[in-house]
Amino acid sequence: MIDARTAAQLRFKSAARFLAPLRGLIQLGLKTKRKGKTPVGRAMSHILTCGFVGEFPKLEIDPAKVKLSDGSLTNPLKIEASRQGNTLRVTWCARPAMLPTSAYQDDGIIVCAYAIAARTAVLNETDAQRKDEETVVILPKELTEETVHVYLMSHSRDKKYFSKNIYVGEFTA
């Protein structure tokens, strides 16, 4: 049995390791003007308080509980994803009649495929907008056999406002 201090250190180390490949995305999605707060600090705090499942020594991070972005912008509706080999296709609905007031057709969409075991995160290569209703993420060869966890978030055209990220799911080769 380990003491509480050692357990807290292990949780912190595990959270830092998990978030490291996502650092650039977190810098965008969780930026803040609040003094003393950093985007990575906000993501770490969320994982440490809400992101772990299980009991030590079987303690692990639940990818669905990770916070990569936050804000009031609305995410697309009816998100679906599929994977064929190294191609991940994500679709959504963007019909104007279905858009809430905090959503615009030219909002950007970011899709992140994260291979936890390989500690590699890949984003959609081309800029996608809400009106496109689809984007593709091409996984590099080294991730062809890896399981990836997929996240989606929306942002305003100037990347000033973001949505809360959505966990789309886990996809195996």
- Boundary of a domain, candidates 65, 89, 109: 65
Residue 70 lies in a domain: no
Residues 114 and 167 in one domain: yes
Residues 89 and 61 in one domain: no
Residues 56 and 16 in one domain: yes
Please write the tens of the pLDDT for every residue from 133-150: 999 999 999 999 999 999
Residues 114 and 160 in one domain: yes
- Boundary of a domain, candidates 65, 88, 112: 65
Residues 82 and 164 in one domain: yes
Number of domains within the chain: 2
Of residues 48, 46, 105, 113, the one with CA closest to residue 74: 105
Q: What's the pTM value of the predicted model, to 2 decimals?
A: 0.93
Instruction: Give the CATH number of the domain where residue 106 resides.
Output: 2.60.40.10
Please write the tens of the pLDDT for every residue from 32-54: 877 878 999 999 999 999 999 98
The pLDDT value recorded for residue 98 is: 59
CA distances (Å), origin 124, targets 29, 31, 48, 87, 139: 15, 21, 28, 10, 9
Residue 72 lies in a domain: no
Residues 60 and 91 in one domain: no
Residue 71 lies in a domain: no
Of residues 162, 47, 168, the one with CA closest to residue 114: 168
Range of the domain at 127: 77-171
